[in-house]
Structure 1
Amino acid sequence: MPRLIDHAAREVEVAEAAWRVLSTRGVGALSVRTVAAEAGLATGSLRRAFPTQDALLVFSLELVARRVRDRVRALDASPAPPAPQLAALCELLPLDAARRLEMEVWLHLGSLVAAGGALRDVHESAHQELAAFTAGVLGSLVQAGWARADLDLPLEARRLHALIDGLALHLVRQDAGAPTGWAPDVLTAHLDELRA
């Protein structure tokens, strides 16, 4: 009897193999052949999951966004502010090996979006989702009475979004084993400036 293949799991395995290629060898080494070898698959098997390299890249980028979303949704929102908001923001930062890999992939694939197409659309959609998320975090802090009610929310949301992006870039640029605790401290100090 032929073995049944879990196609959704196979797609994730292939995307994770693409992530490893991107992280260790860079965008220039990314090809159907290198990803298939990394995944331990025949090239034809990979092509059945992803008929084009663009389809693989789009799924790889979507997987990064999905993993971040899933982690944020799994957080306990019941503690008093700003603990849940800070925890959610920290899920966007490469504070451990798994999140560092995601950010490296995000940056590598982000370098390819200038050409347009579906990859650019996914990247832009995730960027807009992050903008809405930072605005929602700040709105929740104001609504809870923790942050000042007179905040210019659109401006502060942009500032928080830029801070997240900058922290993420700094964390990826430092050595993989370097301490990361300074980044949540910076976020905490920033949020404290917004207190009511």
Structure 2
Amino acid sequence: MPRLIDHAERDRVIAEAAWTVLTRDGVLAFSVRNVADEAGLATASLRRRFPTQDALRVYCLRLVSERVTARIAALDPATDPATLALSCLEQLLPLDAERRVEMEVFLALASLAPTNPAVRVAYGEAHDAIARVCRSVVELVAGTPDDTAARRVHALVDGLALHLVHQDPAEDTDWAVGILADAVWPLRT
């Protein structure tokens, strides 16, 4: 009788291995072979699920978005609007080990977007999702849409994320939350 494979568990193992390769060895070492080795799988087994390196890259990039989206969806909508807005934006920043890994993966793969059409599409989807969060946050706090304010918040989030991922992981991240709060509170009506 053939062995049944838990595809969701296999995908989790592959993603964990892929993220490890990316964060430990960098984007140049990101290959189906290296990820398969890290996951303890045969390369052919990994290729059945991800036939190309681009398919694996896109999966990893979309997984970051899915995880961020799930965290935002889990927030309590009954929270004060400004507090909820700040909590939503915090989910986009590498404020702890889990989000730092996500950001490192996101940035490593995003660096391929200008020259890789498949990654460019997935990166564009993630960028648009972040823009939607920023627009929603501004509308939630200000009570009205404001594209200019949403772009400012988006730019601030991008900049803070870059600074946070480049600081030592042991350093405090409260400074970034403070800057973010300073940007959100004035939007209140």
- The TM-score range, normalised by the shorter chain, is over 0.9
CA contact (8 A) 1:16 1:60 kept: no
Q: Does 1:131 align with 2:131?
A: yes
Deviations 1:94-141 (A, max 9, x none): 011110000000000011111232211010111112112101111111
Separation in 1, partners of 2:136, 2:9: 32
How many pairs does the alignment contain? 189
Structure 1 stretches lacking a partner, 5+ long:
144-148
Separation in 2, partners of 1:80, 1:169: 28
Structure 2 partner of 1:146: none
Deviations 1:46-65 (A, max 9, x none): 11111111110010101000
- Alignment RMSD: 1.3
CA contact (8 A) 1:94 1:102 kept: yes
Structure 2 partner of 1:110: 110
Q: Does 1:164 align with 2:154?
A: no
CA contact (8 A) 2:110 2:123 kept: yes
Q: Which amino acid aligns with 1:96?
A: D
Structure 2 stretches lacking a partner, 5+ long:
none
3-state SS of paired residue (1:76): coil
3-state SS of paired residue (1:115): coil
Equivalent residue runs for 1:1-196 within 5 Å: 1-143=1-143, 153-196=146-189
The two structures have a TM-score, normalised by structure 2, of: 0.95
The two structures have a TM-score, normalised by structure 1, of: 0.92
Q: Which runs of 4+ in 1 moved over 2 A?
A: 192-196
Q: Percent identity?
A: 52
CA contact (8 A) 1:14 1:35 kept: yes
Q: Which amino acid aligns with 1:18?
A: A
CA contact (8 A) 1:7 1:49 kept: no
